[in-house]
Amino acid sequence: MEQYQKLMIIQKESTIMRNISGLLSWDMEVKMPKKGVNQRAEQLAMMSGLIHEKTTNPEIGNYLKEIQANQDFEKLGRNEKRNVELIQRNYDKATKIPKEFAQELTKHGVIATQSWKNAKEKADYSIFKKDLEKMIELIKKQANYFDPDKDPYDVLLDFFEHGFSKKVYDRIFEEAKEGLIPIIKSCVESPNQPNSSLILREVPTEIQRKIAFDIAKLVHYDLEGGRIDEAVHPFTGGYFDDVRITVKYYPNDFTSAFFAALHESGHGIYEQNYPQEFKYQPIADSPSSAMHEGQARFIENIIGRSDEFWEFYLPRFKKLTGKIFEDVGLRPFVHAMNQVIPSKIRIHADPVTYSMHIILRYEIEKDIFSDKITVDEIPVVWNQKMKDYLGMDIENDAEGCLQDTHWAWQYFGYFPTYALGSYYNAQFLPQLTKDIPNWRDEIRTGKIETIHNWLNINIRNKGCLLDPLDMIKDVTGKEFSAKYFIDNTREKYSRLYDF
Amino acid sequence: MVKITKEIDLYEKLLSKVKEIVILNNALGVLYWDMETYIPHGGIEQRSEELALIRGLLHEKQIDPEIGSLLQQIKEHDNFEKLSFAQKRNIYLIQKEYDQQTKIPKELVIAIAKQGAVGSDVWKKALIESNYDLFKPELIKIFELIKKYAEYLAPDKNPFDVLIDLSDPGFNQKILDKLFSELRDGLIPLITKCAESPNQPDYSLIERNCPVEIQEKMSEDIMELIKYDTNRGRIDKTVHPFTTGFYDDVRITTKYLENDFTSNYYSVLHEGGHALYEQNMPKEYKYEPIGFCCSGGFHESQSRYIENFIGRSREFLEYYFPRLKEITGEIFADVKLEDFIRAVNRVTPSKIRVEADPVTYSLHVILRYEIERDLFSGKLSFDDLPKVWNQKMKVYLGVDIKNDAEGVLQDIHWSEGEFGTFPSYAIGNIIDGQLHWKLEQEIPNWKDQIRKGDLTKIISWLFTNVHMKGNLFDPLDLVKEITGEELSTKYYLEYLKKEYTNFYNL
């Protein structure tokens, strides 16, 4: 169908523009000199203007109409139809945002990110507050453009995870809270505590860098089509054959870069393993950011924090680190890796308490958008919830509400998706065990390939052919629920902590 | 600001269109920089799609008929004369660029791009096989296309003049013939004297192994000394050093050779000189055509001034050599300052342009200029090209070219359709001589300052006289504006004679 081909050309061009934008952002975070920020803001704003122009071109609307009215429409393949559906969905989203507004948002994102960086450095929320306030106003306006009849926060939640809303999240998160708080309590109160000093030995950055590359390769992240750099806040950016990850090295806590390397590799591998024939089409994408996050956490937690993995990796790790860990035994070491310990910083949180960090952010975002709290009150509310959920005393904003870059970068309604990934994974596991009963034994021998292939076939190779909730059902045959995650967590940690 | 009309300021509208082009060009620059520095192997194909897309977008913006119509409306407007000098210069430059973009048929642009790709591919093969005949048909094809390009740009003008003007506005064969023959006739005896002097430097002391980590310290040092702002720039490693960027983000690259630290040392000074120019463009002209350098020659003058006039000067080395010894530990501990100065200022006729020293370099350029000129006038045939090349190399530099690889095939430029761009390198040298003559008068104690490692006054002289002028003047006018005299080879030749008589004890 001629219109379909034309549509795909437009799609390809807008994808390339996004890739360009992605590179400019990567450079900004990783390589750009400090004072280049205003110029870069202009470039990003221009790209976002061009992308907006491209993706809102009324031509797209016309093609979509013609294609769907065409008598040959039914003859299109499944992939083609899905492409049309996704383009229609994105076109509806994009055409509701005026170009000038999109540019304003991007520009303000750059400015707010800069002031967030300053604020975080100086642990002073007041430096960031005004820009955050403006950002929230802009985001509300944005949500309103998408759907003036719907609750703005519901709009954002659905935007990042198709099919989700406050109603869904409230249910899942209540389920999670109820299941997790007792587990966390049991872990904290268990007499069988890990010795965390085992993993907190100083490891020089040079060695950590070697290890990061080693494990990235081990989990099948392709360095021929990627690279690993340092950034304040680890992230992954790129497309198919050029997908870059970043980590941050802390000499006195190697686990930060270690698990970031696994996590970002998980993201990177996802991008690197969409089918080549999907390239530049809408189906060359994940069903959602949560599914993406799930793949990252699969590599980080399910593989990287397992007994089986360390059974294989510890000897190699000892070799790479020289004498630093030579006296360490497997069980104590793995327990230390899986320590459940309430902490202040989300990205350093263990997989059990992590959900509480997300639930906290979800609740704050929800209340900001329903005007139950003000931007001024964020630090107070933040600190109170940290006390209530995790028993932590936040001493300054850098370790509190300034720790994440997301709000500066216009990501509201995005945090909740971070929790979903682990829930999705937990639901995949019974199926993986059914298909490959000895997958844990394979990890013991350092063989990640079978699992890698299973994830490729069941998840990554499907691109965005299915929406997340359908994908769950497609892979597992069951409806989505948080109960698998609770069960899985109880099983693993009761074993580690003896309760 | 004078309003061109009451309702809407046409001038502002025009400038905002130009700004978009500049921003898009900046983004393109980042993509290229990344491709030369950090891109993973697998990413090249995706990158080429990105580059093609941006170039397409740029082209659309550059030939936007609204630019043409705005230009016309502004020029015909009653208030046109009230525009400032700078504003009128912007209009002039926008018109020039617009004409260039719109006069060339799209088919020709595509044909040149295609032939450039094919030609450079064949050139690589020919270079490896050292076989000019293999390359010749491609060379002829691209030459004819470029000639056509020049004819479209200005049908009434000599095509080679048109091409020269693209890199160095205001220059033409008449001017270059005079400048270059003076330069050539001045350089040849000087080089001969140096070559024949019994007083030859010992270059082996430069070739002592110097680890990259130590050289990196030197790079840091030099960048600071010349006041290259690393909050607005950065340094990385590439096979061929280059500078790219705009105002607040200007990046340089260098190349570290363990057995010749001067590769990095002079690359940092050279690229640093380019970068200073870009970083110091007048802020108020940002995103305007006048906020750019005025010519290839002037850009090259700034890199060469820092590299050669400062970095190779006796006074600078008097300051820096002790520091260099400090950083390098034992490596150069036994080397005497005088021997070091003479070694880095070695003059040695060579076959390959990119390996040439600053004095013989101009002759490599002049040779290429003369050959291009004679190809365009038809005086020289493509069949005779290698023969003439080799003859000139013998006459100018006394070297015997044994095969085409070390002769006519050494540069990629022609294969990609670059004709008329070589002169910039030598023009830069000539400009430097004259700038230096003026600077000596205005900062009489410049030598003492360099000896102290204080480049403040010298850099700020360049800043005020050159960088801050952006593209307000064409290069020949700018030289006159700064020095009060027409561009002449006199000062550069005098400078060389003085310096090298000293270095070589002639």
- Closest of B137, B184, B95 to residue B415, by C-alpha: B137
pLDDT surpassing 70 at residue B245 = yes
Angle between helices A58-69 and A2-30 (to 10 degrees): 140
CB B26 within 8 A of CB B56: no
Report the gap between the CA of A195 and the closest CA in chain B (Å): 39
Per the structure block, which two tokens stand in for B458? 């010298």
Kindly determine whether residue B232 and residue A43, on different chains, have CB atoms separated by under 8 Å: no
**DSSP 3-state assignment of A364?**
helix
Stretch (H or E) spanning A243: strand A242-247
What residues of chain A lie within 8 A of the CB of B20, using their CB? 46
d(Cα A219, Cα A295) in Å, to the nearest integer? 12
Six-digit token string for B316: 């600078």
In B, minimum Cα distance to A45 occurs at B23
On chain A, the residues whose CB falls within 8 A of the CB of B233 are: 33
Q: Write down the pLDDT at residue B286.
A: 98
pTM of the predicted protein model: 0.89
Domain ranges of chain B: 10-167, 206-348+424-473
At A169, give phi and psi (nearest 5°). Answer: -65, -40
Question: Which tens digits make up the pLDDT trace of A38-89?
Answer: 999 999 999 999 998 999 999 999 999 999 999 999 999 999 999 999 999 9
Would residue B9 be called left, alpha or beta, if left means φ above 0 and alpha means ψ between -120 and 50 degrees? beta
Locate the chain B residue with the closest alpha carbon to A280. B46
| Predicted local confidence at residue A93, as pLDDT | 85
Interface with A, mutate which of B36, B39, B47, B53 (most A CBs under 10 A): B53
**Which residues, in sequence order, are CB contacts of B121 under 8 Å at separation 6+?**
none
- Say yes or no to pLDDT of B5 above 70: no
3-state SS track over A274-290: CCHHHCCCCCCCCCCHH
Q: What integer pLDDT is reported at residue B4 of this predicted model?
A: 65
Query: Based on the number of CB atoms within 10 Å of its own CB, is A348 exposed (0-12), middle (13-18) or buried (19 or more)?
Result: middle
ipTM value, please give it: 0.91
Closest CA of chain A from B250, distance in Å: 9
d(CA B289, CA B273): 21
Beta bridge partners of B251: B244
Is B2's pLDDT higher than 60? no
User: Measured between CA atoms, how close is B37 to chain A, in angstroms?
Assistant: 11
Q: What's the pLDDT band for A400 if we cut at 50, 70, 90?
A: very high
By CB atoms closer than 10 A (0-12, 13-18, 19+), residue B341 is buried
B471: which 2 tokens? Answer: 């593209």
B27 with A47: Cβ contact below 8 A: yes
CA dist., res. B4 & res. B286, Å (int): 21
Token pair for B97? 């660029």
Which tokens hold the place of B95? Answer: 């018109």
Residue in chain B lying closest to A226 (CA): B40
pLDDT above 70 (res B1): no
Secondary structure in 3-state letters for B113-179: HHHHHHHHHHHHHHHHHCCHHHHHHHHHHHHHHHHHHHHHHCCCCCHHHHHHHHHCCCCCHHHHHHH
How far apart CA A457 and CA B150 sit, in angstroms, is 57
Over the stretch A197-249, which tens digit does the pLDDT of each residue have? 999 999 999 999 999 999 999 999 999 999 999 998 899 999 999 999 999 99
pLDDT at B139: 98
The answer to whether the Cβ–Cβ distance between A13 and B246 falls below 8 Å is no
What would the mean pLDDT of A265-275 be, rounded to a whole number?
Answer: 98
On chain A, the residues whose CB falls within 8 A of the CB of B40 are: 223-227, 241-242, 244
> What does the pLDDT read at residue B3?
67
Q: Tell me how far apart the alpha carbons of residues B399 and A69 are, in angstroms, rounded to a whole number.
A: 75
The pLDDT-based confidence of B506 (bands split at 50, 70, 90) is confident
Q: What is the pLDDT of residues B23-40, one digit of tens each?
A: 999 999 999 999 999 999
Q: Which two tokens stand for residue A50?
A: 């061009």
List the single residue in B45, B53, B231 with the smallest CB-CB distance to A241.
Answer: B45
Task: Report the alpha-carbon distance of residue B62 to residue B100 in Å, rounded.
Answer: 10
- The string of DSSP codes covering A337-356 is HT-----S-GGG--TTTHHH
Taking the Cβ of residue A244 and every Cβ of chain B, the question of whether any pair is shorter than 8 Å is answered with yes
What residues of chain A lie within 8 A of the CB of B49, using their CB?
Answer: 16
| pLDDT for position B8 | 64
How many Cβ atoms sit within 10 Å of the Cβ of residue A211? 19
C-alpha distance from A471 to closest chain B C-alpha (Å) = 29
CB atoms within 10 A of CB B48: 11
B197 — contact with chain A (CB < 8 Å)? no
Contact A50 B247 (CB under 8 A): no
Q: What's the CATH number of domain A166-497, 3.40.50.300, 3.50.50.60, 1.20.120.160, 1.10.1370.30?
A: 1.10.1370.30
Sheet holding A236-239, edge to edge: A226-230, A242-247, A236-239
In this predicted model, what pLDDT tens digit does every residue of B372-399 receive, in sequence order?
999 999 999 999 999 999 999 999 999 9
Q: How far apart are CA A229 and CA A210, in angstroms?
A: 12
Angle at B98 between CA B96 and CA B102, to 5 degrees: 125
Q: What is the DSSP letter of A300?
A: I
Rounded CA separation A128/A405 (Å): 11
Q: Are the Cβ atoms of A20 and B247 closer than 8 angstroms? A: no
Torsion B329-B332-B336-B337 (CA) sign:
negative
B147 touches chain A (CB under 8 A): no
Amino acid at A307: D
CB contact under 8 A, B248 and A33: yes
φ, ψ at B22 (rounded to 5°): -65, -45
CA quadruple A147, A148, A154, A156: dihedral positive or negative? positive
By the CB < 8 Å criterion, does A206 face chain B? no
Give me the sign of the Cα torsion angle B55, B56, B62, B63: positive
Residues A11 and A81: beta-carbon distance below 8 Å: no
Q: Is A17 on the interface with B (CB under 8 A)?
A: yes
Which residues of chain A from 44 to 103 reach within 8 Å of chain B, CB to CB? 46-47, 50
Chain A CB contacts of B54 under 8 Å are 20
Contact A490, A351 (CB under 8 A): no
SS3 per residue for B239-294: CCCCEEEECCEEEEEECCCCCCCHHHHHHHHHHHHHHHHHHCCCHHHCCCHHHCCC
At residue A348 the predicted structure's pLDDT band, cuts being 50, 70 and 90, is: confident
Amino acid at B241: P
Indicate the pLDDT class of residue B234, thresholds 50, 70 and 90. Answer: very high
> Would the CB atoms of B30 and A46 count as touching at under 8 Å?
no
pLDDT at B6: 55
Residue B378 touches partner A, C-beta closer than 8 Å = no
Q: Which two tokens stand for residue B421?
A: 């761009």
Pairing of strands B249-254, B243-246: antiparallel
The fold of B206-348+424-473 is Neurolysin; domain 3 (1.10.1370)
**Closest partner residue to A242 among B24, B26, B40, by Cβ?**
B40
By the 8 A CB rule, do B291 and B281 touch? yes
Please say whether the beta carbons of B135 and B126 come within 8 A.
Answer: yes
- Averaged pLDDT for residues B92-118: 94
Does A239 contact B46 at a Cβ distance shorter than 8 Å?
Answer: yes
The pLDDT, as a whole number, for residue A76 is: 95
What is the pairing mode between strands A242-247 and B235-237? unpaired
Residue type, B300: E
Minimal Cα–Cα distance from B267 to chain A, Å? Answer: 20
Q: Is the pLDDT of residue A36 over 80?
A: yes
Which member of B207, B216, B224, B271 is catalytic? B271
Residue with tokens 């719907």, as numbered in its chain: A150
